[in-house]
């Protein structure tokens, strides 16, 4: 009878960032991702960074990989690579992101609540960052809402304004379907009907958005008996 073969213990994955300076030419990204795949690396995000030298590309990867040292050595051996260095991941440094957009005055008040609440949780080990952008106009806001779903680490969107509807409502429903939490101020228009949570006070809206995504908070939107406050 054959002896049972012991199952191999699962390898621990390390989440790291890798900054690569490489030749700006066709096939470079293919070579880089091929090397990462050869080391069983799982690419979580990739970003092309600005460079002043048109012959170079600067790329930033966030990956999970069993062994970072061996991967870095192989990347640096590629002919197209000038340098490849390990970095602390942006997830570890900046953590989850909350995006606040809308009218400038309302955005500022939501940010006041969000930043104050994020500070309370970050002291206890969280990593939550707050991004703001004052915007006006239906199409401008609708485009910005859809773009949030493409932003790395974005977990919640707060819409701060006095009147939003039309294509903005459609965009809100689209990003919610992709898993983004959407908080709206209690405003005129159809956007409050499409949001996960509607809050009248802008400072409280910022606070509740942070509480909804913080691991150190016991607040969850799904457990609320009502969604308008």
Q: What is the pLDDT of residues 23-62, one digit of tens each?
A: 988 999 999 999 999 999 899 888 888 777 778 889 899 8
Residues 149-177 have a mean pLDDT of 91
| pLDDT at residue 6 in the model | 46
Statement: residue 187 has pLDDT above 60: yes
| pLDDT at residue 13 in the model | 77
Confidence of residue 2 (pLDDT cuts 50, 70, 90): low
| pLDDT at residue 11 in the model | 63
Q: In degrees rounded to 5, what are phi and psi of residue 200? A: -75, -45
Residue 185 to residue 137: CA distance in whole angstroms: 17
| pLDDT at residue 111 in the model | 93
Confidence of residue 184 (pLDDT cuts 50, 70, 90): very high
Statement: residue 132 has pLDDT above 90: yes
Residue whose token pair is 């609320």: 224
Distances (CA, A) of 11 to 4, 34, 64, 180: 21, 20, 11, 31
Statement: residue 72 has pLDDT above 60: yes
| pLDDT at residue 82 in the model | 92
Residue whose token pair is 């048109």: 54
- Cα dihedral sign for 163, 164, 165, 167? positive
Distances (CA, A) of 69 to 16, 66, 183: 11, 9, 42
Residue 220 to residue 209: CA distance in whole angstroms: 10
Q: Are strands 81-87 and 14-23 parallel, antiparallel or unpaired?
A: antiparallel
Q: Are the C-beta atoms of residues 78 and 89 closer than 8 Å to each other?
A: no
pTM (2 d.p.): 0.75
* Strand partners for 84: 20
Residue 116 to residue 202: CA distance in whole angstroms: 13
Confidence of residue 9 (pLDDT cuts 50, 70, 90): very low
Residue 195 to residue 188: CA distance in whole angstroms: 13
| pLDDT at residue 53 in the model | 75
Domains and CATH numbers, the chain: 14-91 (3.30.70.260), 94-223 (3.40.50.10550)
Ranges 3-17, 147-161, 170-184: which has the least confidence:
3-17
Residue 216 to residue 95: CA distance in whole angstroms: 13
Residue 162 to residue 10: CA distance in whole angstroms: 52
| pLDDT at residue 3 in the model | 54
Q: Cite the DSSP H helix spans in the chain.
A: 28-38, 68-77, 90-93, 104-122, 138-148, 167-177, 191-194, 202-213
Statement: residue 152 has pLDDT above 60: yes
């Amino acid at each position: 009878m054959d002896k049972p073969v012991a199952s191999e213990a699962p390898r621990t994955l390390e989440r790291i960032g890798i900054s690569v300076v490489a030749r700006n030419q066709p096939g470079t990204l293919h070579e880089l991702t091929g090397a990462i795949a050869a080391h069983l690396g799982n690419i979580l995000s990739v970003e092309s960074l600005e460079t002043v030298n048109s012959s170079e590309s600067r790329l930033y990867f966030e990956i999970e990989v069993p062994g970072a040292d061996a991967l870095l050595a192989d990347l640096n051996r590629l002919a197209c690579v000038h340098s490849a260095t390990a970095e602390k991941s942006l997830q570890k440094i900046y953590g989850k992101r909350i995006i606040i957009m809308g009218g400038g005055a309302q955005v500022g008040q939501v940010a006041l609540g969000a930043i104050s609440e994020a500070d309370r949780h970050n002291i206890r080990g969280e990593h939550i960052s707050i991004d703001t952008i004052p915007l006006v106009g239906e199409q401008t806001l609708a485009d910005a809402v859809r773009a949030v779903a493409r932003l790395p680490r974005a977990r919640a969107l707060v819409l701060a304004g006095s009147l939003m509807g039309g294509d903005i409502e459609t965009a809100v429903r689209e990003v919610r379907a992709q898993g983004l939490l959407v908080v709206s101020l209690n405003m005129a228009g159809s956007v409050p009907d499409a949001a996960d949570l509607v809050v009248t006070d802008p400072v409280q809206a910022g606070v509740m958005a942070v509480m909804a995504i913080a691991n150190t908070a016991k607040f969850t939107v799904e457990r609320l008996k009502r969604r308008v406050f």
